[in-house]
Amino acid sequence: MLVTLKSILRLAEADNKAIAAFNVTTLEGIRAVIAAAEETGQPVILQFANAAHSGYISLHEIGQIMLLYADEAKVPVCVHLDHGANLEEVHEALELGFTSVMIDGSALPYEKNVAVTDATVELAQGFGASVEAEIGSMGREEFLSAGGSEADLGESSYTDPDQAARFVKDTGIDALACSFGTVHGIYLKAPKLDVDRIKVILEKTGKPVVMHGGSGLSDEDFRRCIQNGVRKINFYTYAAKFAGDAVREHVSEAGDGNVYFHDIATWGMESMKKTYIHTISVFSNLKEN
């Protein structure tokens, strides 16, 4: 069933858990997410990062498939635009029927971030959709593009709780993506998580905290962040990597035998489903079979 981000995060808050938000780039990825959510009986967020993945498939193409699978799912599913770059992109997702959008103005000066986020909230309200926005920086590129230096890269890029509270008040968003030590993509070194910052941000803003750059953390790291108030966790990179590893293993086992593309797609999907079941179970504090 198709639901908004705001409503699905209420479920998370009621059960003191986090909702898994999985980026998808293929039909197999969508099927893996929905199958994992239905098998665990947990709500889930299907999301597409147009800025990062439009080279594989367009928002228009994959968005319609995401909405179809979400609508027919046996569990609550939010269809979300991840890291919306501008109002035109946000509007396209809303026109398609996405129930939630993220506008990412984190690399902009504060006032410009507020302006574009406020406009997004107003636009989304006309569609009955939720809005996520970001304050702080989840990666090296974001921090440097926002004017930071290599020397300052680190804790200085973390979200300031007082600024976060002001940002929420100035924009009226439904969920806040924050920086507290995670980064996008593959980790080059062990993350230095400031989980206490999560709790302070939650107390000052009163809004669900969103974690970006979740791939690569330990299960215990995730549990600590959830205990301190994280309610949505984005996860993609390592699921894609593990699926690639699984395909490589199957191809190696085939040796000189034939390898068919439909088998490759199935191997990848099965691997992603396995990863997603484990991830959902950790986020929801479930026991795995």
Q: Is 260 annotated as a binding residue?
A: no
Task: Tell whether 206 is in a known binding site.
Answer: no
Interatomic CA distance for residues 86 and 179, integer angstroms: 21
244 belongs to an annotated ligand binding site? no
16 labelled binding-site residue? no
CA–CA dist 95, 97 (Å, integer): 5
Told to judge if 82 belongs to the known catalytic residues of this protein, a careful annotator would answer yes
Per the annotation, does 236 bind a ligand?
A: yes
Euclidean distance between CA atoms 18 and 239, whole angstroms: 18
Known binding residue 185? Answer is: yes
Q: Which of 15, 71, 82, 160 is catalytic?
A: 82
Q: Is 235 annotated as a binding residue?
A: yes
- Alpha-helical regions (H) of the chain: 5-15, 27-40, 50-53, 59-72, 87-96, 110-125, 140-145, 161-171, 195-205, 219-227, 237-254, 261-284
The reply, when asked if residue 120 is annotated as ligand binding, is no
Phi, psi dihedral angles at 182 (to 5 degrees):
-90, 160
Q: Is 237 annotated as a binding residue?
A: yes
Number of C-beta neighbours around residue 54 at 10 A: 17
For the annotated binding site, the residues are 83, 104, 134, 184-185, 212-215, 234-237
For the annotated binding site for dihydroxyacetone phosphate, the residues are 185, 213-215, 234-237
For the annotated binding site for Zn(2+), the residues are 83, 104, 134, 184, 212
Q: Which residues does the annotation mark as catalytic?
A: 82
